[in-house]
Amino acid sequence: MRRAGWPRRTARGARAPAPAPAEADAPRPSRLPRGARAARAVAAELARRVWRYAWPSTAGRRNRGYLRDRLVALPLLAVVAFGAFGWAYAGVRGDSADMRDRLAPALVDLANAKASLFIAQGEAEENLADGRAAELSGLSERYRTRVARATQSLNQVTRGGALTVAEEQELRVVSALVVDYTGWIGQAQGHATDPVLRDAELTYARSMLCSAPVAAAHSGDRYPPCRPTTGSGATSIVDRVSGLEQRLRERLADRAAWGGGVLAAAVVSGLALVLLAAGLRRTVSFLRRRFRIRLSIPLTAAALPLLAVPLLTTDALLARQAQAEAVPVADALAERTSPETETVVEERPFDGPDPRAIEVLEDRIDDGLSDGRLAFLDGVAPFVFPAGLVSAGLVGGALHAYRREYLVVARPGAVS
């Protein structure tokens, strides 16, 4: 007879393993800290509520619970939808305004300044080649006009607001170089009868204008082409102006591209607007079936801003298309314009517009950005988000009133 408490033996005489203590049968406590478990529970509950708010079902739902959920969901969706949509729409509209009012005029002025300086250089060389006549009568009217136009264009870029602080300082250096450049031209005029000094001063003035000419000055070309230098070797006027043009063109291309923030806001606002429209429709249907309310004036007024969304979306798409079309025109302002074209336009104004002329390109980019929008919507962007707040307030106030009235009139024991 086996005594109590002795371990049992197996068939071959081996002892059976002793039973595990009672603590082994108890469930092990979770290794997650209490805060993490609470956060996971809150996230699960939040996900469940979001799904219920996104696509609620009226079947089997009590009136009180459905109205409570709608009271939270619909105002929140209105705030998110119109907040994200207003931010994205204002961003697209702001990019168009920045391109039209700042970046494009700055590129036009820089192109004008560069072409005017080359024309002035050609005029100075032609005038000073006459020797004594240039010393007595001075340089031509075209030279003086073009130097003044270049100076004015650089000043307009500084005042236009398209440059950063560092770029403004760079442009002030360019303006100082233009003053020194005209000083060397003046010295060459004073030595018009001395070919050696005159040519040396003209050569130095040309080196200030362009540090890397493609053709020699004596090749017979009135405006020898100039290749801009970048990096540490960018010391001449054309080098610095071309560097500013490049940075402005990159900034303009960034404005014209779809940014990640705008795309994300568009997706969020699209989903929220769809859910808001569906939620308002289902809520109106619920009130018609359960409360016999055929028309809810506050909810109808809250849905009115949704009617403007397709119009604003169309306006934003038109603006973005106009921005994309402005990029190659801005590139042409920096790369395709030339002093030869501007001279022909000035000397023969009735030959018809040249597609490479600065004035023609300026009109193209300005007309494209101005026409690429619905003009009667100017100034609407700042009011999109406030309209969403008003809509959220109307929905919340109406549902709160309906819920409070229902709780007051509900009889004890009635199905609610």
* Cβ(276)–Cβ(74) below 8 Å: yes
Q: What is the pTM of this model?
A: 0.80
Q: What is the pLDDT along the chain (416 residues), one digit of tens a residue?
A: 444 444 455 444 455 555 555 444 444 554 557 777 777 887 787 777 666 655 555 555 577 777 888 888 899 999 999 999 999 999 999 999 999 999 999 999 999 999 999 999 988 888 888 766 666 667 888 999 999 999 999 999 999 999 999 999 999 999 999 999 999 998 988 888 888 898 899 889 998 998 876 655 445 567 767 888 777 777 899 999 999 999 999 999 999 998 899 999 999 999 999 999 998 998 888 888 877 888 889 999 999 999 999 999 999 999 999 999 999 999 999 888 889 889 888 888 777 788 899 999 999 999 999 998 999 999 999 999 999 999 999 999 988 888 776 654 444 544 44
Q: 111 near 337, Cβ under 8 Å?
A: yes
Sequence ranges of the domains in the chain: 61-280+293-391
Q: Specify which residues 15 forms β-bridges with.
A: 9
- Residue 24 is predicted with a pLDDT of 46
Q: Which two tokens stand for residue 266?
A: 């568009």
DSSP collapsed to 3 states, the chain = CCCCCCCCECCCCCECCCCCCHHHHCCCCCCCCHHHHHHHHHHHHHHHHHHHHHCCCCCCCCHHHHHHHHHHHHHHHHHHHHHHHHHHHHHHHHHHHHHHHHHHHHHHHHHHHHHHHHHHHHHHHHHHCCCHHHHHHCCCHHHHHHHHHHHHHHHHHHHHCCCCHHHHHHHHHHHHHHHHHHHHHHHHHHCCCCHHHHHHHHHHHHHHHCCCECCCHHHCCCCCCECCCCHHHCCCHHHHHHHHHHHHHHHHHHHHCCCHHHHHHHHHHHHHHHHHHHHHHHHHHHHHHHCCCCCCHHHHHHHHHHHCHHHHHHHHHHHHHHHHHHHHHHHHHHHCCCHHHHHHHHHCCCCCCCCCCHHHHHHHHHHHHHHCCCHHHCCCHHHHHHHHHHHHHHHHHHHHHHHHHHHHHCCCCCCC
Q: Is residue 68 within 8 Å of residue 402, measured between CB atoms? A: no
Shortest CA distance to 296 belongs to which of 391, 402, 408? 402
* Structure confidence at residue 414 (pLDDT): 47
DSSP 275-335: HHHHHHHHHHHHHHHHS--S--HHHHHHHHHHHTHHHHHHHHHHHHHHHHHHHHHHHHHHH
* H helices present in 348-383, as ranges: 358-371
Q: Coil, helix or strand for 9?
A: strand
What distances in angstroms separate CA 19 from CA 16, 23, 339, one per listed residue?
Answer: 9, 11, 101
What's the chain's Rg over C-alpha atoms? 38
- 226 DSSP β-pair partners: 213
How far are the Cα atoms of 145, 174, 269, 381, 412 from residue 79, in angstroms, in the given order?
57, 49, 10, 15, 36
How confident is the model at residue 32, as a pLDDT?
56
Q: How far apart are CA 365 and CA 347, in angstroms?
A: 24
Cβ partners under 8 Å of residue 178, min gap 6: 117, 147, 150, 151, 154, 237
**Token pair for residue 391?**
């809509």
